Amino acid sequence: MSIPFTVGRLIDFFTTPTPQIPLGLTLGQASSLLFLMFTVGAAANAGRAMLMRISGQRIVARLRERMYGAALHQEVEYVERGEGDVLSRLSVDSNVVGDSLTQNLSDGLRSVIMSSAGLGAMFYISPKLTFLMLAIVPPVSLGVVFYGRYLKRLSTRTQEALGEMTKVAQESLSALRTVQAFNAVPHEEKKFHEKVNDVLTLARKEAVASGIFFGSTGWSGNVTLLGLLGYGGTMVSHGEISVGDLTSLLLYTVYVGSGLQMLTSFFTSIMRGVGAGERIFQLLDRHPAIPPNTGLPVDPTRRGPIRFEEVYFRYPSRPGVEILKHLDLEVNVGESVALVGRSGSGKSSINSLLLRYYDPEKGKVTFDGQDIREFNPASWRSAIGVVPQDPVMFTGTIASNIAYGSEHATREQIEAAAREANCEFVWGMPQGFDTEIGRLSLSGGQRQRLAIARALLKKPAILALDEATSSLDATSEHRVNDAIDKILRSRQTTCLIVAHRLSTIARAERIVVLEDGHVVESGTYRHLVNKEGSRFRALMAAQLSAAAGDSPSELSAEEKSHQPQEQRPPQEAQL
Ligand SMILES: Nc1ncnc2c1ncn2[C@@H]1O[C@H](COP(=O)(O)OP(=O)(O)OP(=O)(O)O)[C@@H](O)[C@H]1O
């Protein structure tokens, strides 16, 4: 801020016959003092830029971690349906907030100081000319307020559009095999183009608004400068102020002007940050429908029956369709129950309720007589081993994948679980359990067996197994079934199996047939197969004729040997 003042004094020093330097300094002393001030100023500037940038990045890092944590604690539906477009909030919005809080905040502070100190100096030199310059402030500030509000709205919409765009890209990139197999690349490009266009349209609106705003503020600034020059020039000719004073004043006007302009972009950037911040705090403040950290812990050694009592359930995303109605189901300690029914009859939904991805609309699910809603969800889930239909493997070694969720497991325990789950293929790999695997680098049967090992390592009280609908080759299927068989025979774990393959169904102690979201039949395999007109027989017959009609070769040898009695010779019906 000393430069305009110094320039004015220098001009007067060289243009007046009796020059004077403030504070009675010599020219050399004044120069040294200025040099020192510039050096200190430069060091402070460097420190400001560094500190602000570092603190900005720390804010972004902290926001991202908290947002990620908040997203992982939400109910699965919120994240899976992409409602929160978490990824774009994590990457884009946090950056916008970080920038507007730090770099921008420091520029803002700097411009406040610059403008007020400049104005002070101007008042000191000539109050009359300062008032003339200030005439520009009210209309510009009004413009800033309106422009800022408009920008905030625009920013929220832009972030939303960016989120939509990321969602589309994410979906097709993660399903690239399908996209390419169906030659849907042009279709996906078109979908993405539409989303990119939405972002572009909003960016255009912002560009037009900012063009008009900055054009008009720049114009008013220049007009003010022109007025100052004209009026100030007459004051100089009347001897009211010196040429040096007018020069200082003009330079301060430029400083104040650029300070105010910086303040404007500070304000608009803060508004943009507020828009992005709203989206961040929406996620951070969101209370998950199933709070993860409340409720009673579940003793890992506790065993007890599972009961679905008068359960009614519909998915929040499809409130019009009742998936489970009047469902009563009991699974005793150590019992294995196979859930069978037509596709869409609600089998997997039962598992989802057991794992508390959702809560029933009416009725309750109990474990050992206690409503599972009373338990801490994390603790409750640790009592359940899950083998999903299409198990996911994470990037890392085979050992780390088996130990997923059981971080403290020893290598011996991991190997024992793998052995129990028939994962003998691991020993055949060059680096055994230390082999690095990606998400898709194993066959379906191998992934299922690893998932069984992962579930077994937890030593769960309950095993929830959702059998793969996709067909495995006969050997693989046999190894998977054999692994399941071992668990069923151990009678230590209560098993709820969503079963599709006859070979698995026949192994369960009890079969529960579901139709339209409730139990229509229950009994042993032998009982249901032999029961005249049973729903189970009809179901199996329908499945087998469909399979035989579509492609008889799809039935594995094992499946064929488990065909219901009415379809094969009596001696083969014995299990
Ligand atoms: N997340 C979800 N949101 C909305 N509806 C869903 C969801 N998951 C499943 N559904 C619907 O709920 C019904 C029951 O699905 P569920 O997966 O429980 O059936 P299923 O008997 O396991 O079928 P399958 O044998 O084909 O796996 C189906 O109509 C399905 O479309």
- Map 162-187 to HEC letters: HHHHHHHHHHHHHCHHHHHHCCCHHH
Q: How far apart are the first and last CA of the chain?
A: 95
- 135-148 pLDDT tens trace: 776 777 777 778 87
318 lines ligand 1 (CB under 6 A): yes
Asked whether residue 512 carries a pLDDT value surpassing 70, the answer given is: yes
Q: How confident is the model at residue 355 (pLDDT cuts 50, 70, 90)?
A: very high
pLDDT value of position 89 = 85
294 lines ligand 1 (CB under 6 A): no
For 510-535, what is the mean pLDDT? Answer: 88
Q: Which amino acid is at 262?
A: M
- Closest Cα to atom 18 of ligand 1: 346
Asked if residues 67 and 285 have their Cβ atoms less than 8 Å apart, the reply is: no
DSSP β-ladder status, 494-498 and 336-341: parallel
Q: How confident is the model at residue 375 (pLDDT cuts 50, 70, 90)?
A: very high
401 lines ligand 1 (CB under 6 A): no
Asked whether residue 380 carries a pLDDT value surpassing 60, the answer given is: yes
Q: How confident is the model at residue 220 (pLDDT cuts 50, 70, 90)?
A: confident
- Closest Cα to atom 5 of ligand 1: 315
Any idea which of 286-300, 489-503, 549-563 has the lowest mean pLDDT?
549-563
- 116-136 pLDDT tens trace: 898 898 888 888 888 887 777
Q: How far is the CA of 347 from the centre of ligand 1 (A)?
A: 8
Phi (first) and psi of residue 481, to 5 degrees = -60, -40
Q: How confident is the model at residue 575 (pLDDT cuts 50, 70, 90)?
A: very low
Q: How far is the CA of 158 from the centre of ligand 1 (A)?
A: 34
Asked if residues 259 and 118 have their Cβ atoms less than 8 Å apart, the reply is: yes
- Determine the Cα–Cα distance for residues 544 and 343; give it in Å rounded to an integer: 14
pLDDT value of position 201 = 94
323 lines ligand 1 (CB under 6 A): yes
DSSP code for 300: T
Least Cα distance to 270 among 137, 162, 145, 164 occurs for: 145
For 112, 242, 318, 453, 525, the CA distances from 133, given in Å and listed in that order, are: 17, 18, 63, 78, 94
Q: How confident is the model at residue 331 (pLDDT cuts 50, 70, 90)?
A: very high
In DSSP terms, which residues pair with 337 in a beta bridge? 496, 510
316 lines ligand 1 (CB under 6 A): no
For a ligand 1 pocket test, name from 314, 345, 514 the mutation site with the most ligand atoms within 8 angstroms of its C-beta: 345
What's the mean pLDDT when you consider all of the chain? 83
317 lines ligand 1 (CB under 6 A): yes
- Closest Cα to atom 28 of ligand 1: 344
Any idea which of 195-204, 252-261, 397-406, 561-570 has the lowest mean pLDDT?
561-570
Beta strand ranges found along 303-449 (DSSP E):
306-313, 324-331, 336-341, 362-367, 370-371, 384-387, 396-397, 436-437
517 lines ligand 1 (CB under 6 A): no
102 lines ligand 1 (CB under 6 A): no
- Determine the Cα–Cα distance for residues 80 and 357; give it in Å rounded to an integer: 12
Q: What is the share, in percent, of the chain residues with pLDDT greater than 90?
A: 21
Q: How confident is the model at residue 548 (pLDDT cuts 50, 70, 90)?
A: low
478 C-beta neighbours (distance < 10 Å), count:
17
Q: How far is the CA of 323 from the centre of ligand 1 (A)?
A: 8
- Determine the Cα–Cα distance for residues 64 and 59; give it in Å rounded to an integer: 8
**Exposure on the CB side of residue 513, measured as CA atoms within 13 A:** 18
Can you give the length of the chain in residues?
575
Q: How far is the CA of 104 from the centre of ligand 1 (A)?
A: 49
Range(s) within the chain of domains with CATH label 1.20.1560.10: 1-285
Tokens linked to 559: 């499946």
- Determine the Cα–Cα distance for residues 369 and 304; give it in Å rounded to an integer: 8
344 lines ligand 1 (CB under 6 A): yes
* Architecture of the domain defined by 1-285: Up-down Bundle (1.20)
**Cβ contacts of 197 within 8 Å, gap of 6 or more:** none
For 84-100, what is the mean pLDDT? Answer: 83
Q: What is the share, in percent, of the chain residues with pLDDT greater than 70?
A: 90
pLDDT value of position 551 = 41
Question: Is ipTM beyond 0.90?
Answer: yes
For 23, 89, 176, 191, 192, the CA distances from 172, given in Å and listed in that order, are: 72, 19, 6, 10, 10
Least Cα distance to 76 among 89, 66, 86 occurs for: 86
Asked whether residue 470 carries a pLDDT value surpassing 70, the answer given is: no
For 395-405, what is the mean pLDDT? Answer: 89
pLDDT value of position 491 = 59
Atom of ligand 1 at shortest range from CA of 345: 21
Atom of ligand 1 at shortest range from CA of 517: 14
In DSSP terms, which residues pair with 396 in a beta bridge? 437
For 394-406, what is the mean pLDDT? Answer: 88
Q: Which residue has the higher pLDDT, 92 or 84?
A: 92
Q: How far is the CA of 316 from the centre of ligand 1 (A)?
A: 13
388 lines ligand 1 (CB under 6 A): no
Q: How far is the CA of 467 from the centre of ligand 1 (A)?
A: 14
Q: How far is the CA of 511 from the centre of ligand 1 (A)?
A: 20
Q: How far is the CA of 344 from the centre of ligand 1 (A)?
A: 5
- Closest Cα to atom 31 of ligand 1: 344
543 lines ligand 1 (CB under 6 A): no
Asked whether residue 366 carries a pLDDT value surpassing 90, the answer given is: yes
pLDDT value of position 263 = 81
- Determine the Cα–Cα distance for residues 439 and 228; give it in Å rounded to an integer: 70
Asked whether residue 309 carries a pLDDT value surpassing 90, the answer given is: yes
- Determine the Cα–Cα distance for residues 484 and 105; give it in Å rounded to an integer: 61
Asked if residues 296 and 376 have their Cβ atoms less than 8 Å apart, the reply is: yes
Asked if residues 476 and 444 have their Cβ atoms less than 8 Å apart, the reply is: yes
Q: How confident is the model at residue 547 (pLDDT cuts 50, 70, 90)?
A: low
- Closest Cα to atom 17 of ligand 1: 348
Asked if residues 398 and 434 have their Cβ atoms less than 8 Å apart, the reply is: yes
For 107-112, what is the mean pLDDT? Answer: 84
For a ligand 1 pocket test, name from 77, 322, 349 the mutation site with the most ligand atoms within 8 angstroms of its C-beta: 349
User: CATH homologous superfamily for 306-546?
Assistant: P-loop containing nucleotide triphosphate hydrolases (3.40.50.300)
210 lines ligand 1 (CB under 6 A): no
Q: How confident is the model at residue 106 (pLDDT cuts 50, 70, 90)?
A: confident
pLDDT value of position 323 = 92
**Cβ contacts of 301 within 8 Å, gap of 6 or more:** none
Range(s) within the chain of domains with CATH label 3.40.50.300: 306-546
Asked whether residue 221 carries a pLDDT value surpassing 70, the answer given is: yes
Any idea which of 369-373, 488-492, 565-569 has the lowest mean pLDDT?
565-569
pLDDT value of position 324 = 92
Q: How far is the CA of 354 from the centre of ligand 1 (A)?
A: 15
- Determine the Cα–Cα distance for residues 458 and 185; give it in Å rounded to an integer: 42
Asked if residues 85 and 167 have their Cβ atoms less than 8 Å apart, the reply is: yes
Q: How far is the CA of 348 from the centre of ligand 1 (A)?
A: 7
Compute the 3-state secondary structure of the chain and give helix, strand, coil in percent, each to the nearest 5: 65, 10, 25
Q: Which residue has the higher pLDDT, 107 or 179?
A: 179
Q: How far is the CA of 300 from the centre of ligand 1 (A)?
A: 30
pLDDT value of position 469 = 56
- Closest Cα to atom 8 of ligand 1: 349
For 261-267, what is the mean pLDDT? Answer: 80
Most confidently predicted of 12-21, 459-468, 509-518, 560-569: 509-518
Q: How far is the CA of 349 from the centre of ligand 1 (A)?
A: 6
